[in-house]
Amino acid sequence: MPAEYRVATEIDVILDATAPPTVRQPDVLVRHSGSTGTLTAADVVLVIEILSPSSHRVDRVTKRDEYARAGIPHYWIVDVDEQSAEVLALVDGRFKGSTVTGRIAVDVPAALDVDLTALTY
């Protein structure tokens, strides 16, 4: 991971600060390394959610919409069972992308190479 980014887990992100605030805790996120304290959507460059039987709809619909509205530029939805991921980028306020299987290899937001076949719960 380039020095300008940090990977984090179990951290709340404020997506919308209006009362009541919208706060999510992504499974994994990549943030700007200079971000300190409470994170907002502006601090985050990539959110990764790992699907579970109870989270399919929330991750694929609710969170996808919330992350897009908040302006988070990249969103991955990983299905460990299927060894696949939806790799999405924010374009004109909406996430667009494709489903990949086996391996994710991207250059944006950073050069990342993830072997999906090696992931387990």
* Structural domain count of the chain: 1
Residue 45, Cβ neighbours under 10 Å: how many? 18
Please give the average per-residue pLDDT across 47-62, as a whole number: 94
CB neighbour class for 2 (10 Å; exposed up to 12, middle 13-18, buried from 19): exposed
Q: Which two tokens stand for residue 28?
A: 């994994």
CATH number for the domain harbouring residue 48 = 3.90.1570.10
Which pLDDT tens digit goes with each residue over 23-32? Answer: 999 999 999 9
Query: According to the model, what pLDDT value does residue 73 have?
Result: 98
Q: How confident is the model at residue 51 (pLDDT cuts 50, 70, 90)?
A: very high
Nearest Cα to 85, choosing from 108, 109, 59, 111?
59
Asked whether residue 58 carries a pLDDT value surpassing 90, the answer given is: yes
* Residue carrying the six token digits 């719960």: 121
Asked whether residue 98 carries a pLDDT value surpassing 80, the answer given is: yes
The b/e string for 5-28 (b: 16+ C-beta within 10 A; e otherwise) is beebeebebbbeeeeeeeebebbb
Query: According to the model, what pLDDT value does residue 78 have?
Result: 97
Determine what percent of the chain is predicted with pLDDT higher than 70: 100
Domain containing 58 equals 5-118
Dist. CA 31–CA 47, nearest whole Å: 9
Nearest Cα to 59, choosing from 33, 39, 36, 88?
88
